[in-house]
Amino acid sequence: MIENQKIRPAKVIGPLGEPLTLDSLPPPSTTRWVVRRKAEVVAAVNGGLLSVDEVCSRYGLTAEEFAGWQRAIDRSGMPGLRVTRIQHYRSLYERQQKY
C-alpha cells in the first residue's frame, strides 16, 4: 500500500542565491532577526523546505508575524524586512494603492 507522503526538497535556493538546507537555516534559539535570517526562513517556506506551521513552532513566531515577513518581501524585497524602514515602505505601498 502506497501512503501519501509529503516529498520535500533536500535544499532550496536562498535569498542570496546560496543553497539552504534545514541545517543551514537559523537555529531555533534565534532571537535577533536580521533581514538575511528572515529572508532565509521565508525562502525555505516558499521552496517547500518547511511549512508555515513548522516555522512558527520552530522559531516561536505567530502566523501573522511570518505573514508580515512574506508580505514585506513580496512588496519591497529584502529591504522591506528592515525594521527601521517599515513605516517608509508601508506609506510607499499605501500611496501606490491609491493610484
99 residues of the chain, pLDDT tens digit each: 455 557 889 999 999 999 999 999 999 999 999 999 999 999 999 999 999 999 999 999 999 999 999 999 998 889 888 876 656 666 666 666 665
Domain definitions of the chain by residue range? 12-94
Say what the pTM is: 0.78
Q: Find residue 20's DSSP bridge partners.
A: 12
The CATH number of 12-94 is which of 3.40.50.300, 1.10.10.10, 3.30.460.80, 1.20.58.390? Answer: 1.10.10.10
Cα–Cα distance for residue pair 40/64, rounded to 1 Å = 17
